């Protein structure tokens, strides 16, 4: 019965995904030619996240991202299905590679922990367009996600080798991980300034929605920044040397994010939508439909370089789960 229900859900999600792509493509083809409104900024950033800093080793256990923003990416054919901006906006084109790994509570157990989180990992590329409008103090983002979930992501070898180097317990349950499947999705995001106190504080409202084979959800939340900072919608946090006039060279500020997320599908818990041959996954009624996510951290930037450290928190994601937290470090540079 569960297999039939999951297959029907998968078909509905794929149909919705196709409809959303058609709508986005129609919007793109009917929109104005905005080739002159492309930012010349070139950015590269890397982040690493792990829960070991809180002396835990379960649930979300490690993750990495590599992000590149470059005007040359405006020629990507994927941009045909990304939303075009309104007049007065500047477009930023980028690609973000993301890898995440997940484990149950006890990685030493060589058997399936029924009722616990499955082993899972994925790696995908998000090809995106950000339409930033400083005068309206708003930003719209659209992205296509493409990659895979399962053993092909290499999490078993990565975590096992890392634990050998650190002298940590060997994970013994990766043979039961969520199996290989495609990651295909479309994501939309919106940000709007709600309040500001000069260049000392900003409150940004956020909304995000994802429809795909990895995650399907909708969320709403906020971002608070306080300290010595440049306006959030002036750029993407950093800018190339030629665009730094009248901007603060040195920035130091704290920021906090929070969002409430309504979950439709989570392949790291339920398995991929197309490949249902998994040793173990959770059923749909075991997945929490309301999840709270938040983070708080510190950013230091000078010229074209920034460093960020933050702690992240997520409420229980399935029946019987614990709250979880981890630490993330990020480095970004403009060139």
Task: Show me where the domains of the chain are located.
Answer: 2-32+39-334
For residue 56, with 0-12 CB atoms within 10 Å meaning exposed, 13-18 middle and 19 or more buried, which class applies?
A: middle
- pTM confidence score: 0.87
- pLDDT at position 39 is 95
CATH number of 2-32+39-334: 2.40.128.140
- pLDDT at position 13 is 44
CA distance 158 to 123: 13
Among 329, 324, 328, residue whose Cα is nearest residue 293: 324
CA distance 78 to 34: 16
- pLDDT at position 36 is 52
- pLDDT at position 6 is 39
pLDDT tens, the chain, 335 aa long: 333 333 444 454 445 444 444 444 444 444 444 445 999 999 999 999 999 889 999 999 999 999 999 999 999 999 999 998 888 899 999 999 999 999 999 999 999 999 999 999 999 999 999 999 999 999 999 999 999 999 999 999 999 998 889 888 999 999 999 999 999 999 999 999 999 999 899 999 999 999 999 999 999 999 999 999 999 999 999 998 888 888 999 999 999 999 999 999 999 999 999 999 999 999 999 999 999 999 999 999 999 999 999 999 999 999 999 999 999 999 999 98
Q: Which two tokens stand for residue 329?
A: 């470090």
The DSSP bridge partners found for residue 129 are 93, 142
Q: Which two tokens stand for residue 102?
A: 């997940």
CA distance 182 to 161: 26
Handedness of CA 45, 46, 50, 52 (dihedral sign): negative
Neighbouring CB atoms inside 10 A of 184's CB total 21
All residues at 6 or more sequence positions from 38 whose CB lies less than 8 Å from its CB, including other chains: 71, 74, 90, 91, 92, 93
């Amino acid at each position: 019965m569960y297999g039939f229900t999951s297959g029907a859900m998968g078909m509905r999600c794929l149909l919705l995904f196709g409809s959303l792509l058609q709508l986005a493509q129609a919007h793109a083809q009917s929109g104005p030619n905005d080739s002159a409104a492309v930012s010349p900024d070139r950015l590269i950033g890397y982040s690493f996240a792990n829960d070991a800093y809180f002396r835990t080793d379960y649930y979300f256990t490690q993750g990495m991202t590599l992000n590149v923003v470059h005007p040359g990416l405006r020629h990507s054919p994927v941009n045909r299905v990304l939303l075009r901006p309104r007049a007065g906006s500047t477009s930023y084109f980028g690609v973000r590679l993301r890898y995440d790994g997940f484990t149950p509570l006890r990685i030493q157990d060589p058997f399936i922990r029924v009722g616990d989180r499955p082993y899972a990992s994925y790696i995908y590329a998000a090809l995106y367009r950000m339409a930033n409008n400083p005068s309206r103090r708003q930003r719209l983002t659209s992205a296509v996600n493409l990659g895979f979930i399962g053993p092909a992501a290499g999490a078993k070898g990565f975590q096992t080798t890392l634990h050998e180097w650190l002298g940590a317990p060997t994970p013994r349950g990766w043979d039961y991980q969520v199996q290989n499947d495609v990651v295909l999705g479309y994501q939309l995001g919106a940000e709007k300034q709600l309040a500001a106190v000069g260049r000392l504080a900003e409150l940004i409202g956020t909304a995000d929605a994802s429809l795909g084979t990895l995650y399907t959800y909708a969320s709403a939340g906020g971002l608070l920044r306080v300290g010595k900072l440049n306006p959030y919608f002036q750029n993407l946090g950093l800018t190339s040397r030629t665009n730094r006039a009248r901007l603060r060279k040195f920035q130091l500020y704290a920021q906090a994010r929070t969002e409430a997320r309504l979950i439709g599908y989570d392949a790291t818990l339920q398995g991929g939508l197309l490949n249902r041959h998994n040793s173990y996954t959770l059923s749909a009624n075991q997945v929490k439909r309301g999840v709270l996510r938040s983070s708080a951290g510190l950013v230091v930037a000078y010229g074209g370089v920034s460093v960020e450290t933050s702690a992240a928190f997520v409420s229980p994601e399935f029946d019987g789960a614990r709250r979880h937290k981890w630490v993330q470090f990020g480095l970004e540079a403009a060139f």
